[in-house]
Structure 1
């Protein structure tokens, strides 16, 4: 085995000069861009010298909080990128072979960064502390250092509602050190409040020893408690699938466990994980699980090629007219029957007053798509016009607006 070494002289990192204290204003876009660039710079070094790359990752992490102290991240996008940075580089820092004094220095620098993290930006780094330690022995030593504080915080009658800054690092280290029995006893404290972010360590320990039913029971209690439901749902689903109980996993946890940023993303994730289920059935189940939002699933159904389901959804619940109009335009020649119905539905919802700041251009796009799709479907312009007139043949301002834009008879209604 190669002798662990200290990193060579550090390179001149481009990101180092950019991540100065208060370097970014309140907008997160620039901060995200610079963080992506820094991560790419470190990844490029991994291929050349993993130790230098790990040292660069430590340097980047300790610079994050001061650099971002003025950034407004109400959207959560920057925090998501920071979590991704941890996922990329914590395993590198934890597995690269270095001299003990180097690892000790890295851990001390990162610990100080967490202590100084006031916003906080990097508090979730504590979840990875056992990995950062690099070995069970180092993790165990850190656990011994942190345990007195955690036991005091979780003691009966302790003040502060059980809060202790070293909680997550301590639990992470106990798990990484293989001190699972001690970890499980510690988690019996009422001060854990049944919270998933604590008990997930016990669940991981139980699963490592093959105790899946016991792990599932804890995960389900945490799920019912309601904190970090998404993560608890994913764990419950995974355990049930491992136990061969796929239908229970699907019905009870799959919709939350596979929730993506878009409805289409959620549908795709579920279809990939449960290939035995018909995609249309999955979509129907998703809609039933979210009553009153049928129209919001139109785009997902359309993108999945479920055209009949998409139209059914758009008829049953208000659907964004622009989304319908774009679908009609895009499918006017490929799926003319679908496109015609989508375009008419767009006009119909506009005539009923739905849609945000509907413009003449929006009406024109839907109408031109209807005419094009109607022609491809073998209908005359008069046939399409009659169907459109039936949707806006009233006296409301929205109906008169749509009629005027598509030049329907002025005497309608």
Structure 2
């Protein structure tokens, strides 16, 4: 019988040891290409894709050892790759013997991960085991080193074992929830990275109230406040206690990279809450940053609140100018106020990398909105009053106003 030819992965030759030198961008590109190749294979052959995922995970760390990771970009790319590859391996229809061999290969890669790049892989160990009996065997194998690391005579020495997260994850998949809690009791410190498994175990045991307390007790100076709050929030939401979840954790658990994204995340999660209430709570929780909630208020159609917030503390002039441009026909009165507020903050020196063209746009869109709203003379007067304290704005805006009205003032 002729043996089927072995599949040749395009990425394999590119991930030689030290293949990328110190540059991170070529490495990031190759990681993304490799993941795309494996995902394409998964569409028609899950087992083949799983083998490809294993091969890439084995090759990642040796290939990336010399890459400059100071920006964090390559680390993020690898973490995203792991999050994509783990389900491919976990969902492959492999028998227990095959999966056991896969796990042995992955564990070797984890142990040889010197930098490390694949250090988050053990967190998914239970998912990778998939089979409860296999997870239980791995838990038994890893539990002993964890106990030794956390033993009384090592508590002051700061022992570390790469397999701690893998052990907790395997115990969880094996359904040995009480053992997770017993093991965590040995830990010399409260570390959310590990204690989150205790919360999951308590929830799985139907002890939501205890899980909430356990999570709250995990708070500390260096612990991820937002992550802990998000878990607590989800426990309450799953328990049908949406109002309490909102009151206690909504703001803390849904912090995003922008104020607008934070508002939208909370509004999406709590559809029964009025946008005005959510906005007011967010503003109250960030004193001194009221102006930064302008875009959130605008997106919710709270135009008067948006202008009021933008005038309380500094708002980004460019955001205000864009609002004036976008709303000059739909909500001309709002656009006028947004444009004038933009000029106010520009005249006071606020804004990043602003130019005369920003002044031009602010005046232009304000006047266009003013004509649509029938308040052109009032808008002109207010703009001229603003410009008395800024020679630069006065020069630029006076020319624009003169052009708009047919006479230079």
TM over 0.5: yes
| Inter-partner Cα distance in structure 2 for 1:194 and 1:156 | 15
- Following TM superposition, by how much is the alpha carbon of 1:120 offset from its aligned partner in structure 2, in angstroms? 1.9
- 3-state DSSP class of the match of 1:223? coil
| Inter-partner Cα distance in structure 1 for 2:201 and 2:382 | 64
1:392 aligns with 2:387: yes
Q: Could you say which residue in structure 1 is the equivalent of 2:165?
A: 168
Q: Could you say which residue in structure 2 is the equivalent of 1:403?
A: 394
Structure 1 residues 278 and 79 mapped into 2: Cα distance closer, same or farther (>3 Å)? farther
- 3-state DSSP class of the match of 2:276? helix
- Following TM superposition, by how much is the alpha carbon of 1:161 offset from its aligned partner in structure 2, in angstroms? 2.0
Structure 1 residues 321 and 46 mapped into 2: Cα distance closer, same or farther (>3 Å)? same
Structure 1 residues 254 and 224 mapped into 2: Cα distance closer, same or farther (>3 Å)? farther
- Following TM superposition, by how much is the alpha carbon of 1:342 offset from its aligned partner in structure 2, in angstroms? 0.8
Q: Could you say which residue in structure 2 is the equivalent of 1:343?
A: 339
Structure 1 residues 48 and 8 mapped into 2: Cα distance closer, same or farther (>3 Å)? farther
Structure 1 residues 130 and 190 mapped into 2: Cα distance closer, same or farther (>3 Å)? closer
Structure 1 residues 336 and 27 mapped into 2: Cα distance closer, same or farther (>3 Å)? farther
| Inter-partner Cα distance in structure 1 for 2:329 and 2:169 | 57
Where in structure 2 are the equivalents of 1:7-406 lying within 5 Å? 10-24=6-20, 26=22, 28-74=24-70, 76-158=72-154, 159-191=156-188, 193-223=189-219, 227-380=223-376, 382-394=377-389, 399-406=390-397
Q: Deviations over 1:41-61 (max 9, x none)?
A: 212211211000111111122
- Following TM superposition, by how much is the alpha carbon of 1:72 offset from its aligned partner in structure 2, in angstroms? 4.1
Q: Deviations over 1:204-236 (max 9, x none)?
A: 122112111111110111135651222211111
- Following TM superposition, by how much is the alpha carbon of 1:115 offset from its aligned partner in structure 2, in angstroms? 1.8
Do 1:297 and 1:313's aligned partners in 2 also have CA atoms closer than 8 Å? yes
| Inter-partner Cα distance in structure 2 for 1:154 and 1:104 | 27
Structure 1 residues 249 and 26 mapped into 2: Cα distance closer, same or farther (>3 Å)? farther
- Following TM superposition, by how much is the alpha carbon of 1:99 offset from its aligned partner in structure 2, in angstroms? 4.3
Q: Could you say which residue in structure 2 is the equivalent of 1:3?
A: none
- Following TM superposition, by how much is the alpha carbon of 1:121 offset from its aligned partner in structure 2, in angstroms? 1.6
- 3-state DSSP class of the match of 1:265? helix
- 3-state DSSP class of the match of 1:406? helix
- Following TM superposition, by how much is the alpha carbon of 1:26 offset from its aligned partner in structure 2, in angstroms? 4.9
| Inter-partner Cα distance in structure 2 for 1:128 and 1:8 | 32
Do 2:316 and 2:350's aligned partners in 1 also have CA atoms closer than 8 Å? yes
- The TM-score with structure 2 as length reference comes to 0.90
Do 2:297 and 2:305's aligned partners in 1 also have CA atoms closer than 8 Å? yes
Structure 1 residues 73 and 97 mapped into 2: Cα distance closer, same or farther (>3 Å)? same
- 3-state DSSP class of the match of 1:311? helix
- 3-state DSSP class of the match of 1:292? coil
Do 1:194 and 1:225's aligned partners in 2 also have CA atoms closer than 8 Å? no
| Inter-partner Cα distance in structure 2 for 1:171 and 1:112 | 19
Q: Could you say which residue in structure 2 is the equivalent of 1:4?
A: none
| Inter-partner Cα distance in structure 2 for 1:320 and 1:30 | 35
| Inter-partner Cα distance in structure 1 for 2:353 and 2:78 | 37
| Inter-partner Cα distance in structure 2 for 1:95 and 1:359 | 54
Structure 1 residues 211 and 320 mapped into 2: Cα distance closer, same or farther (>3 Å)? same
| Inter-partner Cα distance in structure 2 for 1:137 and 1:309 | 58
| Inter-partner Cα distance in structure 1 for 2:127 and 2:24 | 29
Residues matched between the structures, number: 398
- Following TM superposition, by how much is the alpha carbon of 1:255 offset from its aligned partner in structure 2, in angstroms? 1.5
Do 1:264 and 1:299's aligned partners in 2 also have CA atoms closer than 8 Å? yes
Query: 5+ unaligned residues in a row in structure 1: which ranges?
Result: 1-6
Do 2:290 and 2:309's aligned partners in 1 also have CA atoms closer than 8 Å? yes
Q: Deviations over 1:143-164 (max 9, x none)?
A: 2222221111111131532422
Do 1:234 and 1:258's aligned partners in 2 also have CA atoms closer than 8 Å? yes
